[in-house]
Amino acid sequence: MNTSRLLVLLSLIVATVACQSPQAEGAAGMMPPPPTVTMATPLQHEITQYAEFTGRFHAFKRVEMRARVDGYLTKVGFEDGQMVNQGDLLFEIDPRPYRLALSGAEADLEAAKTRLRLAEKEFKRVESLRDRRAVSAEELDRRLEERDTAAAAILALKARVEEARLDVTFTEVRAPISGRVSETLLDVGNLVGNSTLLTTIVALDPLHFYVEAGEQELAQIAHGGDRGRGVAVQVKLLTESDYSHEGVIDFVDNEIDNATGTLLMRARFNNRDFTLQPGAFGRARIPMGRPGPVMLVPDAAIASFLTQKLVYMVGEDGTVQPRPVELGPLWGNGFRVIRSGLQPGESIMINGLAKVRPGMPVKVEQGSITLDGAPAAGPQG
């Protein structure tokens, strides 16, 4: 509902109350005295405003451990959920077939080297006879071709040996990163195939925290340039009351999502004690620009009418007058930032809201707002 329609509704409420004349009240009995309320001027204070986002932690690195050769699983080298270091042996696949294949490839290579040596000797002998015209040119060409073919066979067999050595290496599945390993998906004795998923590993330090910010929010966050990179971020988990985890924005995506109108942002958090977990939700607080003066009122002084937020003021006729306001975030000990709707020096009702309604006459006592969030004078209501 827009502000103009809201003001019309509130005016109707005020007019209805005004129609209840003293004569009508007098017919039923003596009117009660007007309630006493406390009025005070909002605080002017310089603060840093924050935007809040809900986001989620993600692992800095996540690796799916898959088999690279076929065979029977002969060893699992970790306990489910334990921390592992880079290079630790996690799984072993039966290496015997691959070691046999390597031995065969190495034997074939040695045989090929022998054939090359023989072909080289034959070529040199025929070449010496060719100088004395004892053999034909065709014979010399045939010996040369045999020598080159033997040399090419060695290159192919060397590649086969290297491939066999790799297969032997792949029978040992080692951790490519340090982190926490998940549960094993296959037990010893199972037959695994190439690309079979065995488990996963996630790196826990550091962690990334992802949020999505709108264009206006991003413009305020990125006041320092570099599209917000380097801006500090504070996060509290859903089970925490304080923003006790601190990180820094290290990535802002390169385009705004057409469907949501938001831009993906990422903050980096150190996690040396592993208190943060990948997948955990949290509430992020990001500073919006530099510190500046704002208007603060106690959050308890804010009233609601439908979807609109209001403060109560007292008109010249001594009656309660509602004023729509645009709220900012909570700050400090129960204060609310007022972004628009109030002018400096105007007084609002800070106590007695539960006893009044729009258009009702009230008795005013002056008070003040202190930074501890409580009125300095006047009745409590």
3-state secondary structure 174-225: ECCCCEEECCCCCCCCCEECCCCEEEEEECCCCEEEEEEEEHHHHHHHHHHC
pLDDT at 213: 86
Q: How many CB atoms lie within 10 A of CB 250?
A: 16
What average pLDDT does range 86-92 have in this prediction? Answer: 95
Give the rounded distance of the alpha carbon of 118 from its chain centre. 67
Per cent of the chain over pLDDT 70 is 85
Q: Which residue matches tokens 């704002």?
A: 294
Q: Terminal CA-to-CA distance of the chain, rounded, Å?
A: 30
pLDDT at 56: 95
Tokens coding 18: 């005004």
Domain 50-61+204-287 indexed as CATH 2.40.50.140 = no
pLDDT tens track for 203-240: 999 999 999 988 777 777 765 556 678 888 999 998 88
Q: How far is it, in rounded angstroms, from Cα 129 to Cα 123? A: 10
Phi, then psi, of 21 in degrees rounded to 5:
-70, 160
Q: Which residue matches tokens 């106690």?
A: 298
pLDDT tens track for 326-375: 988 777 778 888 888 888 888 888 888 888 888 889 888 888 888 765 44
Most confident of 134-138, 145-149, 372-376: 145-149
CB under 8 Å to 167, separation ≥6 — which residues? 69, 98, 101, 102
pLDDT for 136 beyond 50: yes
182 with 200: CB under 8 angstroms?
Answer: yes
pLDDT at 13: 53
pLDDT at 381: 30
What average pLDDT does range 234-263 have in this prediction? Answer: 89
pLDDT for 27 beyond 50: no
pLDDT at 279: 93
Tokens coding 74: 């002969």
pLDDT for 144 beyond 90: no
Most confident of 23-27, 262-266, 267-271: 267-271
**Domain 3-47+292-366 and domain 50-61+204-287 have a common topology:** no
pLDDT for 89 beyond 50: yes
pLDDT for 19 beyond 60: no
Q: How far is it, in rounded angstroms, from Cα 213 to Cα 211? A: 7
pLDDT at 120: 84
The CATH architecture assigned to 3-47+292-366 reads Beta Barrel (2.40)
pLDDT at 168: 96
Report CA-CA distances (Å) from 134 to 127, 129, 130, 140.
10, 5, 6, 11
What average pLDDT does range 285-306 have in this prediction? Answer: 84
pLDDT at 2: 56
pLDDT for 94 beyond 60: yes
**pTM, rounded to two decimals:** 0.65
The CATH architecture assigned to 95-170 reads Orthogonal Bundle (1.10)
Tokens coding 234: 């504070």
Per cent of the chain over pLDDT 90 is 38
pLDDT for 135 beyond 80: no
Among residues 350, 322, 250, 228, the alpha carbon closest in space to that of 11 is found at 322
Between 236 and 140, residue with greater pLDDT: 236
- The domain locations on the chain are 3-47+292-366, 50-61+204-287, 95-170
Among residues 202, 158, 185, 176, the alpha carbon closest in space to that of 80 is found at 185
pLDDT at 379: 33
